[in-house]
Amino acid sequence: MVKPCENEECGKPFIAKRRDTRFCSASCRARAHTLKSRREYLLARTSAAAGVEVVVPTPATPATARLERRVRGLEAAIEGARVEAVRGLGELAAELRVGRDQAADAVAELSARVDTEVAAQARRARAAATEGRRRDARLREVEAQLLRVTTLLGALEQRLVALEQAVVVATARLGGTRR
* Shortest Å distance, C-beta 59 to Zn ion: 17
22/72 with CB nearer Zn ion: 22
What is the three-state SS of the chain? CEEECCCCCCCCEEECCCCCCCCCCHHHHHHHHHHHHHHHHHHHHHHHHHCCCCCCCCCCCHHHHHHHHHHHHHHHHHHHHHHHHHHHHHHHHHHHHHHHHHHHHHHHHHHHHHHHHHHHHHHHHHHCHHHCHHHHHHHHHHHHHHHHHHHHHHHHHHHHHHHHHHHHHHHHHHHHHCC
User: Using CB under 5 A as the criterion, which residues of the chain lie in contact with Zn ion when the complex forms?
Assistant: 5, 7, 10, 24, 28
* Rounded Cα–Cα distance for residues 93 and 160 (Å): 13
2/55 with CB nearer Zn ion: 2
* Shortest Å distance, C-beta 96 to Zn ion: 51
31/159 with CB nearer Zn ion: 31
8/117 with CB nearer Zn ion: 8
* Shortest Å distance, C-beta 75 to Zn ion: 24
* Shortest Å distance, C-beta 39 to Zn ion: 18
* Rounded Cα–Cα distance for residues 54 and 128 (Å): 75
35/153 with CB nearer Zn ion: 35
CB distance 119 to 146 below 8 Å: no
